[in-house]
Amino acid sequence: MKAIKMISMSLLIGLFLIMSSNVYAQDPMKAGPKVYKKILLENDKVRVMSAEFAPGATMPWHSHPHHTVYALTGGKIKITEKGKPATNADIKAGDVLYFPPVTHMAKNTGTTTFKIVVTEIKPAKKK
């Protein structure tokens, strides 16, 4: 009986750890299909995605490797990185931003739809 309780507890803890890591390491295309609209290009080097944040739209927790963001339209966005306070940004159409690997969430705090192109740089494959 004691062994069954120990195994059950181990499975429960393992399931919790798997679920909590997925919350913070989710692919943006899966985490926010209402925001991340389409993969424009994908190969072994990059993945390019279009995203549209309607006013008030929230992108749940997700992760990116090194990536750039090109703003097709301007907008106001609040970004919260894992373990850090939220920051607000006023991004203008044509702005290009670079980000190191990150786990974050985002919310459009403006009154217009904010459209971006996100280019993720895939890690080099080990030989």
Q: What is the 3-state secondary structure (H, E, C) of the chain?
A: CHHHHHHHHHHHHHHHHHHHHHHHCCCHHHHCCCCEEEEEEECCCEEEEEEEECCCCEEEEEEECCEEEEECCCEEEEEEECCCCCEEEEECCCCEEEECCEEEEEEECCCCCEEEEEEEECCCCCC
pLDDT band at 3 (very low <50, low <70, confident <90, very high): low
Strands laid side by side in the 87-91 sheet = 58-64, 102-108, 75-81, 87-91
Find the range with the poorest average confidence among 5-14, 28-37, 78-87, 100-109.
5-14
pTM: 0.78
The reported pLDDT for the residue numbered 117 is 98
Task: Please give the Cα distance from 74 to 113 (Å, whole number).
Answer: 8
